[in-house]
Amino acid sequence: MRPVVVFDTNVLISALITRTAPSAQLYEAWKARRLTLVTSETQLEEFAQVSRSPQVRRFFKPAEAGRLVNELRSLARVLKKLPSVTVSPDPADDFLFAMTKVGRADYLVTGDKAGVLALRKYGKTRIVTARQLIELLKR
């Protein structure tokens, strides 16, 4: 059975910036159907906003960000409505925990070491880095 996974938006951005990074490897594993990815309209909106910011957009072409969004919309489980949860030290990240709850995710993959990753677990969902999930998938 394929693990159900939520990628933090920073993992999606990283997958676009560095094609050999662990985040890009996980993105490719998802497209190869080795993972079930859960996303949401909230995350797609956040991704669009972040990918257009001047600090980030210089690393990839707008068409690449658009292609990623199209792939998410067509291949991932896109959640329309999320419950309100208060979990993260950063309230802007609470939607990730709502996605893990509704999507019944096995893993939440993040690069946010100080905030999201520090929690280590939310319900049955393990919070891991991209590198950690790659290692877990090898088992």
What residue numbers bound the domain in which 121 lies?
A: 4-138
CATH of the domain at 91: 3.40.50.1010
| 125-128 sheet: strands from edge to edge | 77-79, 36-40, 4-7, 107-109, 125-128, 121-122
**60's tokens:** 């990839």
User: Which letter does DSSP use for residue 88 in this model?
Assistant: S
User: Which letter does DSSP use for residue 90 in this model?
Assistant: S
- Give the pLDDT of the chain (139 residues) as one tens digit per residue: 899 999 999 999 999 999 899 999 999 999 999 999 999 999 999 999 999 999 998 999 999 999 999 999 999 999 999 999 999 989 999 999 999 999 999 999 999 988 899 999 999 999 999 999 999 998 8
pLDDT score recorded for residue 66 = 95
Number of domains in the chain: 1
Residue 95: closest CA among 36, 39, 51: 39
